[in-house]
Amino acid sequence: MPKKGEKKTTKTSDSVSKQLVSSSVALQDKTVELLLVVNKLVKRLDDMVSVFEEASKHIKSGLDEPIAKRLEELLEQNKNIARGLILLERYVKEKTGMSNFPPPKPLHKEGF
């Protein structure tokens, strides 16, 4: 004849077992979802890397030479604008008597 305490223990252990099984199933579902998302991410990264590789091939082969030429022209224009601004600053300082400040550093040909 079973005792009163044994029935409660069996019911409790059954309830815990059911909770463990349901938790395990839920965890497996989330793991599958995570794997699917990671696979999508890997595919998108592969696509992005292939785009960069293709762009690198085009640049190396010289197909995008006009873009490189335009960038060089813009770089030269920026250097000229910077030199002009420095000269303008010196002129304003001389006219206003603000020669207390140290002169600006000269532009380096390679650094700009």
Q: What span, in angstroms and rounded, lies between the C-alpha atoms of 74 and 80? A: 10
Q: Confirm if 81 and 89 have CB atoms less than 8 A apart.
A: no
pLDDT attached to residue 12: 85
Residue 106 has pLDDT above 80, yes or no: no
From the list 79, 103, 105, the residue with the least C-alpha distance to 91 is 103
Residue 80: what pLDDT?
94
Q: What's the distance, Cα to Cα, between the start and end of the chain in Å? A: 94
Instruction: Compare 82 and 5 and report the one with higher pLDDT.
Output: 82
pTM: 0.43
| pLDDT for residue 1 | 46
d(CA 109, CA 112): 6
Q: Which two tokens stand for residue 27?
A: 């965890």
pLDDT at 55 over 60: yes
Give residue-wise pLDDT tens across range 4-50: 555 667 778 888 999 999 999 999 999 999 999 999 999 999 999 99
pLDDT score at 92: 87
26-65 b/e with 16+ CB inside 10 Å = b?
eeeeeeeeeeeeeeeeeeeeeeeeeeeeeeeeeeeeeeee
